[in-house]
Homo-oligomer: A and B are copies of this chain.
Amino acid sequence: MKVKRSERLIDITYYLMEHPHKLVPLTLFAKRYESAKSSISEDLTIIKETFTKRGLGFLETVPGAAGGVRYVPKMTDEDIAAFIDELCEELNHSKRLLPGGYVYLSDMLGEPKWLRKIGRAIASKYMDKEVDSVMTVATKGVPIAQSVASYLNVPFVIVRRDSKVTEGSTVSINYVSGSSSDRVEKMELSRRSLEMGSKVVIVDDFLKGGGTVNGMISLIEEFNSEVVGATVIAENIFKGERSVTDYTSLLKVENVNSQDRTIEVVPGNFLQKGI
């Protein structure tokens, strides 16, 4: 029995949201609902208009036999700017100030509501690029990587500072950690978790001197792979020259006064560098 338009619209919306960034052939829906391709095309036009109107993302239609429809949950620059303002407001509180000029973020990185927005915003920058994998370093970066990866619909890989028995063989590198101390540390990645020749997006929570991001770049090179870009939630105050310059940040910690317990968080360079 044919399926009604109303039911199709609901089910297609659900399906597209569960399969972002993936080309879905129209025949999949035509078979699923025993409907003509022309009806499915009309459904997709309605969905496309609604998504665009409501800022839910974009529907790309690829014509031809190998074609289909792709849901790209990209945010508009305006929506990202509004979200970054929302983040600033949330973070500009003395209660978030931690020793050493760090900002307490862990609660937000454990809130599905915030993670969805952070993930969608960061992913928006990479949606028009070819990406095979999202990389981060344990542990703070993991929720960010997971959320970004879910919107790009690609796997994410976790670089570790300690070896785990359940990982199998690993590739490790040494990197210069910390700002002034020039400590040399080790980070490693399971050999199975990243294919050679991958295109990788790096994400993390904070960037101070850039040592960790730099370490991940070296590790990506060890896998003969390519860095598509690096985005952090917040760049911290850092005096001196950073070992990484080519990154984007949603936020920038501009001022921290431990005595007054004041903190000033402003938008980072995320939107300046264009999407």
Taking Cβ atoms with an 8 Å cutoff, the residues of A that contact B are 5-7, 9-11, 13-14, 17-18, 46-47, 49-51, 53-54, 56, 98-100, 102-107, 110-113, 115-116, 138-140, 142-143, 146-147, 149-150, 153-158, 160, 164-168, 190, 192-193, 205-206
Contacts and interface: CB of A to CB of B under 8 A. Distances in A.
Nearest to A156: B110
26 contacts: A6-B6, A6-B9, A9-B10, A10-B47, A11-B54, A14-B17, A17-B17, A98-B166, A98-B167, A102-B165, A106-B167, A106-B193, A107-B155, A107-B192, A110-B156, A110-B193, A111-B155, A116-B150, A139-B139, A139-B158, A140-B164, A140-B166, A142-B146, A143-B146, A146-B147, A166-B206
A27 B158 CA distance: 43
Contacts of A111: 155
Given A111-B155, A116-B18, A166 B46 contact: no
B158 A110 contact: yes
A7 B46 CA distance: 7
A233 to B, nearest CB: 12
A112 B153 contact: yes
B106 A190 contact: yes
Number of copies of chain A assembled together: 2
By DSSP majority rule, is chain A's interface helix, strand, loop, or mixed? helix
B50 A11 contact: yes
Most chain B CB within 10 A, of A10, A14, A107, is at A10
A105 B190 CA distance: 12
Contact of A9 (B9, B18, B113, B158): B9
